[in-house]
Amino acid sequence: MIELTIEELKKLSPTEISPNGWYIDRKNNMAYKLTDADIIELRRYFRKNIASNRVIQSNPSKKASERRKEIHPNLRTRPKHYVLASKQKYNDKKHSIRGRLKTGAIAIALAAMGVTVTFLHYSLFTEAHGIGETDPVPTIEVETTTDDAYDSIIGDEFIIDVSPSSPEIPEEIEAIDNSLEGEEKGEEIEATDNSLGGEEKGEEIPEESANSKAPDLNPELKEDLARKTMIQRYCDVFQVNFDVIYPRLEELTDHFSNENYRNGYIPGVTCKGRTEVYCQSDEELWVYFIRCAKQTPEKLGISTENLYVSNGYTSPEDYGKAVYYYSKLLGVEDPCLMYAIIQTETGWSSDLFQNGNNPAGLRLPDGSWWHFDSKEEGFIEFALELVKYQLKGLRTIPEIGAVHAPTSDGNDYWVSTVTSIYNSILPKQAEIFGITNEDTIQNQR
């Protein structure tokens, strides 16, 4: 899997992540598969530096009012509704402006001056035309508030009274206050960016909504994305480095376009005595290539440096479906026979299978048990073993038993046991393999 550094992650935008975890680089017409750790790190960086740049992280040692002042020194904490104590005198002193007004307050002062001028003109007009008695000209006083009042200035915005009598609260202050109240309760601060909110909260994204937001990729990019995903999967199965395998595979096939590749052949790929391997599908050819790259990398011009990895890949536990899938992919004629032999050799529960991932008692040339890096690798190797028998004309259970489990090694009951198990699973193969009755096979033994 392609790994991105922290610096490379910082250049990405979480809004370009598809629902299945692919980052789509539209500018360079590329796509990257992000791990869960990459997505979490990307969102953490995005939330910290962009989405919530006015929200500080929780600091239990400080009060909410102190944290508010760290966000905006001019932002005052909203006081509770003012109530006079029994012996308290109301302070009705007026406070002079003294140059403290900013843009919003200046606008109010100008508006007040305009109202005063309007009233003056109105009084002069009525007096000149004798329309009633002239009312005293009202005096408009412009006041500023003390540090404990409702009003405050944030940049160029004037924050109005937010007492219970005011039905509307400015959205910016509401968002900041709510986030700080959440800190006081020990709640996690949510990012203000809606694009990050749904997945952060663990909410399920509606399928229709997810499909409507899926990136519209051109056919070539879709094909490239599907190819990389499948090759990455088989690199995990065989525990080899995708960053070593994929470039060499591209090089040998001229970016998957030369004539040999189109004919299902890659020079240097061998298997169990076959010097040339021709495949029916791209996926089958990738399996042969990656297997050969792991076992005999020198034949493909691949260095062993950084080739082998251990990424903790775990095979699915539905072994019946795996047996059927790889038997069909690699050309095994009878998946029921493959299943019956595995049942006879290891019973799915032996130490050789559970810890060595060897399903059918396969041995190395020196006679020792073969250990594989995943159970799927073991299924693939055994499927290729059965294909080797088929190419030699060995198809019946006794013919295969004479080579795979000769009686000279103490396998006196191998043929009868395999035959019995084979006959017992034939009527249950649809359930075992997860297939329809139309895909089942008839007794071929």
> Could you give the C-alpha distances from 396 to 40, 134, 381, 401, 410, in angstroms and in order?
54, 120, 20, 8, 20
> Could you give the C-alpha distances from 444 to 17, 263, 324, 335, 395, in angstroms and in order?
50, 31, 16, 11, 9
Cβ atoms 327, 376 nearer than 8 A? no
What are the pLDDT digits (tens) for 241-268? 999 999 999 999 999 999 999 999 999 9
CA dihedral in degrees (125, 126, 131, 134; nearest 10)?
-170
What are the pLDDT digits (tens) for 340-353? 999 999 999 999 99
What are the pLDDT digits (tens) for 64-99? 556 555 555 555 444 444 444 444 444 544 444 444
Of 224, 230, 217, residue with least CA distance to 281: 230
As a whole number of angstroms, the distance between CA 39 and CA 30 comes to 17
Residue 35 has a pLDDT of 76
Residue 111 has a pLDDT of 77
Total length of the chain: 445
Cβ atoms 177, 78 nearer than 8 A? yes
Question: pTM value?
Answer: 0.55
Of 76, 70, 65, 77, residue with least CA distance to 53: 70
- In sequence order, the 6+-apart residues with CB closer than 8 A to the CB of 374 are 236, 237, 238, 239, 313, 314, 315, 357
As a whole number of angstroms, the distance between CA 399 and CA 422 comes to 15
Is the predicted pLDDT of residue 218 greater than 50, yes or no? yes
As a whole number of angstroms, the distance between CA 237 and CA 293 comes to 13
Of 30, 54, 269, residue with least CA distance to 171: 54
Residue 3 has a pLDDT of 59
DSSP structural state of residue 409: G
Residue 34 has a pLDDT of 74
Run of H or E residues at 210:
helix 207-213
One DSSP character per residue, 320-340 reads HHHHHHHHHHHT-S-HHHHHH
As a whole number of angstroms, the distance between CA 385 and CA 390 comes to 9
**Mean pLDDT calculated for residue range 215-243:** 92
As a whole number of angstroms, the distance between CA 219 and CA 28 comes to 15
Pair of tokens at residue 28 = 């360079």
Q: pLDDT tier at 440 (50, 70, 90 boundaries)? A: confident
Is the predicted pLDDT of residue 366 greater than 90, yes or no? yes
Three-class SS of 45-66? HHHHHHHCCCCCCCCCCCCHHH
